[in-house]
């Protein structure tokens, strides 16, 4: 079987796997949602491209030169966005190890698919309208095609650069610091340290001009760099396959911690220990938690150290989102990870109720982290402390009770350690998606409406949100008991769902 036939076979198998997956109906909803999201961002990037071309038309340098000079920032944004979308192919390759196909061939096929994936074209929603408005009037259509082809090679290179580090990050989370340090060093030594000789801007500018003029050296540099990272990824992906097969990561020794300070809280204390240990020891739980923390920190720092989102609407959005983000990452799948041992939980009276209380207390405690981080824009005067406090309490007293309702309806077991990769493994239901979106956007809309109602009284809206949050938080024993009672009515349906969806 040659490479072309093998490539077709892999593509055919991926399509069949998506259609035959037991959660195909949910996948279809997710695909529609993803397509709508991509359409939204496509239109948004298209509009940005047109606006950027018009805005920079009167600059002393050509607009496309400005974009070429900022290539490093495009690569950084693209690199970190891929953590949400692009996965490593190691688990997809595993089943082919049992078939009489060349191991070398199958790895090469999956690496080629990484370079040809549509994700590498997403920035073209911005680059195509921008280039059409700026380049043909000087360099013609051939210059535009060369420029776009060069940028395509840039993003293909970035996909292999990302794949290298994502594979290592899956082994140890600390590896994410290395590309971050490299990007920081490039910006510091190439732009900040010597402002009179910004060699990084000059290098990417020359590279972009080489693309427009179809200089052989510009394309040779990109193709050579792609080839280097392609061959670097080959042995790393090979070792990752064997790690997946042998489960090396599952036998690492973990230092135990008794956390005796929680013993005073009885059964709830034991479940609090379980929450903490699940984050420390289980890959998928830890990944969800860390992604939520990273998003929270990034948003707080974005508001604190930039002026991009200084309007009232975006301030409210970021303030609300900072507190609700982590809860949406973790509570959308509430009880799904517990589906692995739900039969044991149901064997003791009110064990699930104690677990729900522990989860609620844990998520409320975690809210202190974004509170500490968001104090930076409070000190700078961009936000008020009553507004921040109102958003935090509203999250604990209104948003969390809303998300906890999913404990009644979630019935799909999520693995604690196995990484579910690929489009055909999405297990987010329609209800989870809708409720998470409502939980994210309703507080923001509600807060802005209150601001409009109270007008110049800047303490009116935070006061209303604080009161609602305190009432909801104090009444948590009642609404958690209600969730538990409704869960018991559906226990047999949920238990069957947890068993059927175990992998």
- Structural tokens at position 268: 């709830």
pLDDT at 419: 52
**pLDDT tens digit string along 377-422?**
788 777 788 888 888 888 888 888 888 888 888 887 777 776 544 4
Task: Describe the chain by its helix, strand, coil percentages, rounded to 5.
Answer: 80, 0, 20
Residue 254's pLDDT band (cuts 50, 70, 90): very low
Asked if residue 319 and residue 242 are part of one domain, the reply reads no
Angstrom CA distances, 419 to 15, 87, 217, 249, 426, stand at 20, 10, 41, 12, 11
pLDDT at 429: 58
List of residues 6+ apart from 347 with CB closer than 8 A: none
Asked if residue 296 and residue 371 are part of one domain, the reply reads yes
- Ranges 77-86, 221-230, 299-308, most confident: 221-230
Asked if residue 109 and residue 239 are part of one domain, the reply reads yes
Asked if residue 336 and residue 241 are part of one domain, the reply reads no
Asked if residue 243 and residue 286 are part of one domain, the reply reads no
Closest C-alpha to 442, from 307, 300, 328, 304 = 328
Q: How many domains does the chain have?
A: 2
List of residues 6+ apart from 64 with CB closer than 8 A: 130, 131, 134, 135, 147, 208, 212
pLDDT at 245: 60
b/e 326-336 (16+ beta carbons within 10 angstroms → b): bbbbbbbbbbb
How far is residue 290's CA from residue 276's CA, in Å, rounded to a whole number? 13
Better pLDDT: 160 or 304: 160
User: What region does 430 belong to: left with phi over 0, alpha with psi -120 to 50, or beta?
Assistant: alpha
Residue tagged 């050579």 (tokens): 224
Asked, for residue 441, whether it belongs to a domain, the answer is yes
Better pLDDT: 115 or 224: 224
> Of 195, 217, 247, which residue constitutes the final position of a domain?
247
How far is residue 199's CA from residue 98's CA, in Å, rounded to a whole number? 50
pLDDT of 325 higher than 70: yes
> Of 247, 273, 307, which residue constitutes the final position of a domain?
247
Lowest mean pLDDT among 116-130, 368-382, 436-450: 436-450
Percentage of residues of the chain with pLDDT beyond 70: 79
> What pTM was estimated for this model as a whole?
0.62
**pLDDT tens digit string along 442-501?**
777 777 787 778 776 677 778 888 899 899 999 999 999 998 898 888 888 878 887 777
pLDDT at 212: 92
**pLDDT tens digit string along 164-208?**
888 888 777 778 788 888 888 888 887 777 666 778 888 888 999
Asked if residue 88 and residue 48 are part of one domain, the reply reads yes
Asked, for residue 270, whether it belongs to a domain, the answer is yes
Better pLDDT: 418 or 427: 418
Look up residue 257 and give its DSSP letter.
-
Asked if residue 231 and residue 269 are part of one domain, the reply reads no
Beta carbons of 345 and 352 less than 8 angstroms apart: yes
Residue 219's pLDDT band (cuts 50, 70, 90): very high
Asked, for residue 260, whether it belongs to a domain, the answer is no
pLDDT at 151: 93
Asked, for residue 18, whether it belongs to a domain, the answer is no
How far is residue 178's CA from residue 163's CA, in Å, rounded to a whole number? 14
**pLDDT tens digit string along 20-78?**
655 555 555 556 656 676 787 788 889 888 888 888 887 778 888 889 888 888 898 88
Average pLDDT, the chain: 78
Asked if residue 202 and residue 167 are part of one domain, the reply reads yes
pLDDT at 422: 40
Beta carbons of 356 and 267 less than 8 angstroms apart: no
Mean pLDDT of 309-314: 64
Asked, for residue 253, whether it belongs to a domain, the answer is no
**Residue 36, SS3 per DSSP:** helix
Look up residue 426 and give its DSSP letter.
-
Residue 222's pLDDT band (cuts 50, 70, 90): very high
List of residues 6+ apart from 46 with CB closer than 8 A: 125, 126, 129
Asked if residue 206 and residue 355 are part of one domain, the reply reads no
Percentage of residues of the chain with pLDDT beyond 90: 13
- Structural tokens at position 299: 């948003």
User: Which domain, by its residues, includes 387?
Assistant: 265-500
> Of 216, 247, 278, which residue constitutes the final position of a domain?
247
Asked if residue 240 and residue 271 are part of one domain, the reply reads no
How far is residue 272's CA from residue 293's CA, in Å, rounded to a whole number? 19
Closest C-alpha to 157, from 48, 258, 273, 74 = 74
**Residue 223, SS3 per DSSP:** helix
Asked, for residue 255, whether it belongs to a domain, the answer is no
Mean pLDDT of 128-143: 90
**pLDDT tens digit string along 338-361?**
877 777 777 777 788 888 888 899
Better pLDDT: 251 or 100: 100
Asked if residue 346 and residue 241 are part of one domain, the reply reads no
pLDDT at 158: 92
pLDDT at 326: 77
pLDDT at 304: 66
Asked if residue 104 and residue 74 are part of one domain, the reply reads yes
Alpha helices in 306-350 (DSSP H): 312-331, 342-345
Asked, for residue 254, whether it belongs to a domain, the answer is no
pLDDT of 423 higher than 60: no
Asked, for residue 252, whether it belongs to a domain, the answer is no
pLDDT at 426: 41
Angstrom CA distances, 494 to 250, 346, 413, 427, stand at 28, 11, 10, 15
Question: Degrees (nearest 5) of the Cα angle 168, 171, 172?
Answer: 90
Residue 97's pLDDT band (cuts 50, 70, 90): low
Alpha helices in 247-350 (DSSP H): 266-281, 283-305, 312-331, 342-345
Lowest mean pLDDT among 59-73, 125-139, 259-273, 354-368: 259-273
């Amino acid at each position: 079987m040659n490479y072309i036939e093998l490539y077709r076979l892999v593509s055919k198998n991926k399509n069949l796997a998506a259609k035959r997956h037991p959660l195909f109906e949910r996948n279809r909803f997710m695909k529609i949602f993803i397509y709508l999201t991509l359409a939204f961002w496509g239109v948004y990037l298209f509009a940005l491209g047109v606006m950027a071309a018009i805005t920079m038309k009167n600059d002393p340098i050509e607009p496309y030169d400005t974009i070429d000079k900022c290539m490093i920032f495009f690569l950084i944004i693209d690199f970190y966005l891929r953590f949400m979308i692009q996965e490593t192919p190691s688990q997809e390759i595993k089943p082919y190890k049992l078939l009489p196909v060349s191991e070398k061939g199958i790895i090469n096929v999956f690496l080629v698919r990484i370079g040809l994936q549509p994700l590498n074209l997403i920035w073209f929603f911005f680059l195509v309208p921008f280039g059409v408005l700026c380049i043909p009037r000087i360099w013609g259509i051939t210059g535009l095609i060369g420029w776009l082809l060069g940028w395509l090679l840039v993003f293909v290179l970035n996909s292999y650069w990302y794949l290298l580090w994502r594979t290592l990050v899956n082994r140890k989370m600390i590896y994410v610091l290395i590309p971050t340090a490299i990007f920081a060093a490039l910006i510091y030594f190439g732009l900040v340290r010597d402002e009179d000789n910004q060699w990084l801007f000059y290098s990417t500018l020359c590279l972009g001009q080489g693309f427009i003029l179809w200089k052989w050296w510009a394309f040779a540099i990109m193709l050579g760099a792609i080839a280097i990272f392609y061959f670097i990824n080959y042995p790393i992906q090979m070792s990752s396959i064997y790690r997946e097969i042998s489960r090396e990561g599952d036998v690492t020794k973990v230092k135990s911690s008794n956390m005796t300070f929680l013993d005073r809280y009885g059964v709830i204390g034991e479940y609090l220990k379980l929450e903490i240990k699940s984050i420390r020891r289980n890959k998928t739980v830890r990944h969800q938690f860390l992604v939520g923390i990273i998003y929270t920190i990034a948003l707080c720092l974005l508001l604190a150290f930039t002026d991009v989102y200084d309007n009232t609407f975006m301030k409210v959005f970021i303030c609300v989102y900072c507190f609700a983000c982590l809860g949406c990452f973790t509570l959308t799948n509430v009880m799904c990870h517990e589906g692995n041992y739900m039969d044991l939980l149901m064997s003791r009276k009110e064990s699930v109720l104690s677990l729900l209380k522990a989860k609620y207390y844990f998520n409320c405690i975690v809210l202190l982290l974004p509170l500490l981080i968001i104090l930076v824009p409070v000190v700078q005067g961009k936000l008020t402390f009553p507004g921040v406090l109102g958003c935090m309490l509203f999250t604990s007293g209104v948003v969390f009770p809303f998300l906890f309702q999913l404990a009644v309806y979630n019935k799909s077991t999520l693995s604690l350690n196995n990484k579910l990769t690929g489009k055909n493994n999405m297990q987010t239901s329609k209800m989870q998606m809708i409720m998470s979106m409502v939980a994210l956007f309703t507080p923001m809309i509600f807060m802005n409406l209150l601001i409009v109602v109270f007008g110049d009284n800047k303490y009116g809206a935070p006061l209303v949100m604080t009161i609602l949050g305190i009432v909801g938080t104090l009444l948590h024993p009642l609404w958690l008991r209600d969730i538990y009672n409704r869960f018991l009515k559906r226990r047999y349906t949920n238990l069957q769902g947890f068993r059927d969806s175990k992998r």
